[in-house]
Amino acid sequence: MSFLRDLKRLVAVLIAGASGLIVLLDFAGSGPIVAMIARALVGWAALITAIALLIGILSVSWSHVQRMRRRSADWGYSIVLLAGMLLVIVIGVFFPLPGTSGVVLPRSLAEQPIRQLFSTVYEPIASSLLALLAFFSLSAALRALGRRSADAVVIVVVAAVVLVAQLPLVYTLPGVAVTVQWVNDYVALAGARGLLIGAAIGAIVASVRVLLGFDLPYLDR
């Protein structure tokens, strides 16, 4: 269907393309008029995102409240979710930053006292889940070796060598620390940079497709 026959799609593509182009020009460096328009667009986008987040929170809360009222399966998890959400909101709103008084909303999750809550509750839970990954990784390695795939064997052998090299008794051997550092600085870093470059190229292609109207994630289709 062409743009001329679909007015909704045409208007949406024009607005999205013009907005994205203005913000991109401001990022590249342009005049004060473009910068002012770009700041306004970014502010509108932030406001719309905040409203959408609030609507999403209310929708999720209402859904879990209904699960609790109906005593649906695993409705106890709904209690934990709602309690955690309310705890973060109450601590962030009614326990202001040091040196302030009254209701002072934190600007990010990295500020006190929300940061203290994350350090006390969230980080131990995350550490426990990460510790369990060792057992899941071992189980996955055993299953991969059971299939006798060459790729799986190479991955498991490399992972085992790296893990053994990190052991204190092995790491202190002559030449091991230098070899591990060389692998981290050249081999691992090269792979990580390749992944980042690939992700950046994919993001650029996806953005161009959105700006040109080939992909329309902002339309209700």
What are the tens digits of pLDDT across the range 3-54? 566 677 778 778 888 888 888 888 877 778 888 888 898 899 889 988 998 8
For residue 154, CA distances in Å to 145, 147, 150, 161, 192 come to 10, 13, 6, 11, 19
CA proximity to 154, closest of 142, 143, 145, 165: 145
- Given this model, what pLDDT does residue 111 score? 63
Q: Are residues 89 and 173 in the same domain?
A: no
pLDDT band for 202, please (50, 70, 90 cuts): very high
Q: Interior CA angle at 178 toward 172 and 179, to 5°? A: 100
Under 8 Å between Cβ of 82 and 64: yes
In this structure, is residue 152 part of a structural domain? no
Under 8 Å between Cβ of 169 and 176: no
- pLDDT tops 70 at residue 2: no
CA proximity to 85, closest of 66, 62, 103, 52: 62
pLDDT band for 112, please (50, 70, 90 cuts): low
- Given this model, what pLDDT does residue 195 score? 93
CA proximity to 88, closest of 62, 117, 124, 61: 117
Last residue of a domain, one of 66, 94, 122: 94
Range picked from 54-68, 136-150, 199-213 for highest mean pLDDT: 54-68
Q: Which residue has the higher pLDDT, 211 or 196?
A: 196
- Given this model, what pLDDT does residue 187 score? 85
For residue 213, CA distances in Å to 24, 110, 117 come to 16, 37, 43
Phi-psi region of 72 (alpha: psi -120 to 50; beta: other; left: phi over 0): beta
- Given this model, what pLDDT does residue 200 score? 93
Last residue of a domain, one of 35, 61, 94: 94
Looking at every residue in the chain, the average pLDDT score rounds to 81
In this structure, is residue 130 part of a structural domain? no
In this structure, is residue 7 part of a structural domain? yes
Count of structural domains, the chain: 2
pLDDT band for 194, please (50, 70, 90 cuts): very high
pLDDT band for 193, please (50, 70, 90 cuts): very high
Q: Name residues whose C-beta falls within 8 Å of residue 3's C-beta, 6 or more positions apart in sequence.
A: 9, 10, 13, 213
pTM of the model: 0.60
Neighbouring CB atoms inside 10 A of 9's CB total 17
Last residue of a domain, one of 94, 114, 145: 94
- pLDDT tops 80 at residue 114: no
Token code pair at residue 195: 């992944």
Range picked from 1-15, 87-101, 187-201 for highest mean pLDDT: 187-201
Give the range of the structural domain holding residue 186, as residue numbers without chain letter: 166-215
